[in-house]
A = this chain, B = another copy of it.
């Protein structure tokens, strides 16, 4: 399926401010970027680099005044997410090296403190995919989605105490529990078609049965229409923008995702 997705940000910048942006989805084995726009206004010099997790990151200094970032993509992605009940746990010694960073505790996923809870939630389930599914089910049943609470990023432990959070926080809890069972788990930030209300979304992936699978504690049906923008250990790694120095004001942010009637055709050629 083809999606057109866009994200616009408008900032009010008091003094020239360094930014790190992460708003360029990459083509990968599950999505293909056929068109992409990335427009900064005013136009400023940008340097792009690839971070430790393979994300394309953009560095720039936003000048004082209004600063807007418009990005959009036409992308092909799957209609439905693969699921694999029964997919087995991969023994740690068999894991590919590149999955290992996703086994360790991280800023918002204190997996070192979730061993007991993860074992209790998944008691009686087959090791692997079914454990992840049990964790997602548990989160769905016990954590209340609280859209207004998303200003401060909270960790798995904090969510566990408070009992309510947003998609990102719920992903943290899912990731922490998976890692506590020695299942590599990583954060994904991206677009999701038909999300209500429309916004950027966060979910997680777990490595079982020899590949990454998608899990989303906030969605009862694991539908497709997903566009990954960035991968990381948790929200600390995948902020779509990070600014340094005195805080700037985000005046406006809009996100839009539409299904395209037909694949893009490059009329400009």
Which residue numbers of A lie inside 8 Å of B, CB to CB?
4, 6, 8, 18, 20, 26-29, 32-40, 43, 45-52, 54, 56-61, 70, 72, 76, 91-93, 97, 100-101, 103-107, 109-110, 112, 153, 182, 236-237, 242, 244-245, 256, 263-266, 268-269
Q: Which residues of B contact A182 (CB under 8 A)?
A: 244-245
Are A34 and B34 within 8 A (Cβ)? no
Assembly CA distance A8 to B266 (angstroms) = 11
Q: A61-B93, A93-B60, A266-B70 are in contact. Are A32 and B52 (CB under 8 A)?
A: no
Beyond the given A32-B43, A43-B76, A106-B107, could you list 10 further A-B residue pairs with CB under 8 A, ordered by the A residue number?
Answer: A28-B48, A35-B37, A37-B266, A43-B263, A57-B100, A60-B93, A103-B244, A104-B107, A105-B236, A107-B109
* Most-contacted residue by chain B among A153, A182, A244 (CB, 10 A): A244
Assembly CA distance A162 to B8 (angstroms) = 43
Q: Which residues of B contact A45 (CB under 8 A)?
A: 29, 32
Assembly CA distance A56 to B92 (angstroms) = 17
Q: Which residues of B contact A4 (CB under 8 A)?
A: 268
Are A58 and B27 within 8 A (Cβ)? yes
Q: A45-B32, A52-B101, A107-B106 are in contact. Are A59 and B27 (CB under 8 A)?
A: no
Assembly CA distance A57 to B237 (angstroms) = 23
Which of these, B47, B54, B61, B92, contacts A28 with CB under 8 Å?
B47
Are A36 and B36 within 8 A (Cβ)? yes
Are B35 and A36 within 8 A (Cβ)? yes
* Most-contacted residue by chain B among A92, A101, A268 (CB, 10 A): A92
Assembly CA distance A32 to B71 (angstroms) = 14
Q: Which residues of B contact A58 (CB under 8 A)?
A: 27
Are A37 and B92 within 8 A (Cβ)? no
Are A72 and B266 within 8 A (Cβ)? yes
Assembly CA distance A87 to B183 (angstroms) = 32
Residue of B nearest to A182 (CB): B244
Which of these, B18, B27, B40, B237, contacts A92 with CB under 8 Å?
B18
